[in-house]
Chains A and B, each alone.
Chain A
Amino acid sequence: MNIFLDDATALVVVLPLLIAAIIAFIPSSRLAWFITIVTLVFHLSLSVELFQNFSSFGTIIYEFGNWPPPWGISFKLDGVNIGLQLLFSAFVLVTTIYSRKIFLSEIDPEDSGKAYSLWLLAIGSLNGIILTNDIFNLFVFLEISALSSISLISLGAGTNRKALLAAFNYLVIGAIGATFYVIGVGFAYAMTGTLNMNDLIIQLSQYSEGQLAIFAGMSFMLIGLMVKSAVFPLHLWLPPAYSYAPSAVSTLFAALATKAILIFFVRILYEVFSIYNGYLEIFLDYILLPLSLIAIFVGTIIAIYQNDIKKLLAYSSIAQIGYITLAFSINDNSGVLAGFVHIFNHALIKGGLFMAVGYLAISLNDRVTLESIEGYGQKYPITSYALLVCGLSLIGLPLTNGFISKLYIFQALYSNEMFLTIGLVALSSALAVIYFWKIVEKLFFSSKGYEATSEDPAIYIPIWIIALSIIYFGIFSSTIVEFSSIASESLILGGSN
């Protein structure tokens, strides 16, 4: 392992991209799946190595081709992304194990081998988004991940042709968002002559009063990233894309894609932008905070009226992203900490929910609606109870990790004396009970007496790994909180390091 250690930071991105190109030529879908699993096991072990390296030596900056930062592209592994890197590696492995049966039944079996090529492409590029330290390099990764995820979403057309419209919508809106981001990069480059994040911070400090061009550029960048991470008024691509994609794909993207971009979003906000405190405060207080609150309510209320369960979960994702951005909009350590806690927890919760619903979808061989799952709690008890655990965590019941998130969000709001916001957040949590209760009622309290059917262990084991980790992190919350506090501290205090 040690010979790879020097380049582990690059390998976690390069390896999936490289294997993706090879898998495209493998005709057997079983072999393609197996190679993907092997790659991701290796990926996970590299991430663990990186973590050990990080805990003994601190921040790792990897320079490609040994070009020093202002000229070359560099990757940075610091407190902000180490936690997400570990979670990402572990989660994609579990999702890939789960994805085999889903891909076989939801997309054309002949394509399911090639789907793994796109799958690895998406994983590699998302990992690039997590690690990159170069603002233009981020654009490239954003586009690779967008193009591969659009192709994966359009594979859902095998079961429902609306997937094509969803994919097209995402393509157009996503490309507009990415282009906005590039315009912002252009402004930043024109003013500073650098693309490297650390160097950018140093160069920007010479304009300590701020210049219109910098603010314009930053606004373009932030809006572009907000489109990509589906922050409220720019979220319209997300619900159809998540609900018509093959379930394994929805799982991957709901859990990790928006989160990876949100991490970069807060980096721009708090690392690069922290020198313009006035502008930052205006953006956080008058734009991000109100938008997050609206997102929470709009997402929750639309979710209540949904009949299609994958769509319901997608709208609930909008609300949950609202909680994350709400926490990030509190400009102090406790708020950012709460945001990171919710990023980790929500990734597990939404991932678990989409996995469980995905299994119901393939056993129904149809859309999962509230009517069609009536009584399935008796028919598929193992999956249904996992869904129940994840859902209870989404609401924020004690002993689940969702409770920990809510606790930290409330704490951050309370310490900043935002009492009105506390009330609104509590109200929205109560509303979330309504839509989840509708699912529980249909699943478990139905007059239809089904016999318990045998379930596929290849699918319920990954689902229960997620469900058990939800309970584990709910009881022993210190791991996630520790990673989050490392992240928030290095974000708020670290600055250029």
Chain B
Amino acid sequence: MTDFLYFWNHFAFVILMVSGLFIIITSQNYIKKIVGLAIFQTSVFVFFVSLAKIIDGTAPILNSVNNVYSNPLPHVLILTAIVVGVATSALGLAIVLQIYKNYGSVEENEIKKEELKENS
């Protein structure tokens, strides 16, 4: 049990990751898929930040009081990954907007139906 409490943020990462994937796979709505994707990507941010944490560690500022600090590099990596995530969501939403303009719907099953009608 103590292990669980100690690593709870890693469990949070796994739960977030799986629920994000679940939303992407099961939802019919394209906007919900983008939301699922965002949750999925955020889970990885939680994972990286957890990696960096050292118990009693502070921000990596050099002074005489604190000499234990968390590893700043994963934070920097995640800063990049956040930017990438935002860009992905933005582009995804822009495409969904265009899909709505062209098909009049953002529901996957309705669009599939329309495609079938078009083909037959």
B contact residues, total (Cβ < 8 Å): 30
Find out whether the CB atom of B48 lies under 8 angstroms from the CB atom of A143: no
Could you say which residues of chain B place their CB within 8 Å of the CB of A165?
Answer: 99, 111
Chain B 22-40 per-residue mask, 1 if CB under 8 angstroms from chain A, else 0? 0010000010010001001
Chain A 139-169 per-residue mask, 1 if CB under 8 angstroms from chain B, else 0? 1100100010011001001000110110110
Given A182-B81, A189-B74, also A147-B99 (CB < 8 A):
no
Could you say which residues of chain A place their CB within 8 Å of the CB of B41?
Answer: 175, 179
Q: Is A18 an interface residue (CB 8 A)?
A: no
Find out whether the CB atom of A157 lies under 8 angstroms from the CB atom of B102: yes
Find out whether the CB atom of B95 lies under 8 angstroms from the CB atom of A164: yes
Task: Tell me the complex Cα distance, A157–B94, Å.
Answer: 13
Q: Is B59 an interface residue (CB 8 A)?
A: no
Most chain B CB within a 10 A radius of its CB, from A150, A154, A179: A179
Point out the residue from B47, B92, B98, B102 that lies within 8 Å of A172, measured CB to CB: B92
Task: Tell me the complex Cα distance, A168–B81, Å.
Answer: 20
Task: Tell me the complex Cα distance, A139–B81, Å.
Answer: 9
Could you say which residues of chain A place their CB within 8 Å of the CB of B96?
Answer: 168
Across the interface, name the chain A residue whose C-beta is closest to B74. A189
Task: Tell me the complex Cα distance, A162–B114, Å.
Answer: 11
Find out whether the CB atom of A150 lies under 8 angstroms from the CB atom of B95: yes
The A-contacting residues of B in range 76-120, CB under 8 angstroms, are 77, 80-81, 84, 87-88, 91-92, 95-96, 98-99, 102-103, 111, 115
Task: Tell me the complex Cα distance, A150–B96, Å.
Answer: 13
Given A162-B115, A186-B47, also A176-B24 (CB < 8 A):
yes
Given A140-B80, A164-B99, A168-B30, also A179-B40 (CB < 8 A):
yes
Find out whether the CB atom of A186 lies under 8 angstroms from the CB atom of B44: yes
Find out whether the CB atom of B40 lies under 8 angstroms from the CB atom of A176: yes
Could you say which residues of chain A place their CB within 8 Å of the CB of B102?
Answer: 157, 161, 164
Could you say which residues of chain B place their CB within 8 Å of the CB of A168?
Answer: 30, 92, 95-96, 99
Given A157-B102, A172-B33, A179-B40, also A143-B51 (CB < 8 A):
no
Task: Tell me the complex Cα distance, A150–B90, Å.
Answer: 12
Min CB–CB distance B106 → chain A (angstroms): 10
Point out the residue from B30, B48, B74, B88 that lies within 8 Å of A175, measured CB to CB: B88
Across the interface, name the chain A residue whose C-beta is closest to B88. A175
Given A157-B102, A165-B99, A176-B37, also A136-B77 (CB < 8 A):
yes
Q: Is B18 an interface residue (CB 8 A)?
A: no
Could you say which residues of chain A place their CB within 8 Å of the CB of B30?
Answer: 168
Task: Tell me the complex Cα distance, A29–B64, Å.
Answer: 60
Point out the residue from B21, B48, B87 that lies within 8 Å of A176, measured CB to CB: B21
Q: Is A190 an interface residue (CB 8 A)?
A: yes
Could you say which residues of chain B place their CB within 8 Å of the CB of A176?
Answer: 21, 24, 37, 40
Q: Is A171 an interface residue (CB 8 A)?
A: yes
Find out whether the CB atom of B44 lies under 8 angstroms from the CB atom of A147: no
Task: Tell me the complex Cα distance, A186–B75, Å.
Answer: 12
Point out the residue from A139, A143, A161, A172 that lies within 8 Å of B103, measured CB to CB: A161
Across the interface, name the chain A residue whose C-beta is closest to B92. A171
Find out whether the CB atom of A154 lies under 8 angstroms from the CB atom of B40: no
Find out whether the CB atom of B88 lies under 8 angstroms from the CB atom of A171: yes
Task: Tell me the complex Cα distance, A162–B1, Å.
Answer: 52
Given A140-B80, A140-B84, A175-B37, also A190-B51 (CB < 8 A):
yes
Q: Is A183 an interface residue (CB 8 A)?
A: yes
Min CB–CB distance B81 → chain A (angstroms): 6
Find out whether the CB atom of A172 lies under 8 angstroms from the CB atom of B24: yes
Find out whether the CB atom of B91 lies under 8 angstroms from the CB atom of A150: yes
Min CB–CB distance A172 → chain B (angstroms): 6
Find out whether the CB atom of A143 lies under 8 angstroms from the CB atom of B24: no
Point out the residue from B80, B81, B95 that lies within 8 Å of A171, measured CB to CB: B95
Task: Tell me the complex Cα distance, A150–B103, Å.
Answer: 19
Could you say which residues of chain A place their CB within 8 Å of the CB of B51?
Answer: 186, 189-190
Min CB–CB distance B38 → chain A (angstroms): 10
Find out whether the CB atom of A154 lies under 8 angstroms from the CB atom of B98: yes
Task: Tell me the complex Cα distance, A167–B94, Å.
Answer: 11
The A-contacting residues of B in range 2-60, CB under 8 angstroms, are 17, 21, 24, 30, 33, 37, 40-41, 44, 47-48, 51
Across the interface, name the chain B residue whose C-beta is closest to A182. B44
Could you say which residues of chain A place their CB within 8 Å of the CB of B103?
Answer: 161
Could you say which residues of chain B place their CB within 8 Å of the CB of A183?
Answer: 17, 44, 47
Min CB–CB distance A407 → chain B (angstroms): 41
Find out whether the CB atom of A172 lies under 8 angstroms from the CB atom of B37: yes
Could you say which residues of chain B place their CB within 8 Å of the CB of A139?
Answer: 81, 84
Could you say which residues of chain A place their CB within 8 Å of the CB of B33?
Answer: 172
Find out whether the CB atom of A167 lies under 8 angstroms from the CB atom of B84: no
Task: Tell me the complex Cα distance, A186–B24, Å.
Answer: 22
Task: Tell me the complex Cα distance, A189–B84, Å.
Answer: 19
Could you say which residues of chain A place their CB within 8 Å of the CB of B21?
Answer: 176
Task: Tell me the complex Cα distance, A65–B44, Å.
Answer: 29
Most chain A CB within a 10 A radius of its CB, from B81, B84, B111: B84
Could you say which residues of chain A place their CB within 8 Å of the CB of B37?
Answer: 172, 175-176
Task: Tell me the complex Cα distance, A121–B39, Å.
Answer: 27
Could you say which residues of chain B place their CB within 8 Å of the CB of A179?
Answer: 40-41, 44
A-B residue pairs in contact (CB < 8 Å), sample of 15: A139-B84, A143-B88, A151-B91, A161-B103, A162-B115, A164-B95, A165-B111, A168-B96, A175-B37, A175-B88, A176-B21, A176-B37, A176-B40, A179-B40, A179-B41
In addition to A172-B24, A172-B37, A183-B47, 4 A-B residue pairs with Cβ atoms within 8 Å of each other are: A161-B102, A164-B98, A168-B99, A171-B92
Query: Which 8 pairs between the two chains have the least Cβ-Cβ distance?
Result: A161-B102, A143-B84, A164-B99, A168-B95, A190-B51, A175-B88, A171-B92, A164-B98
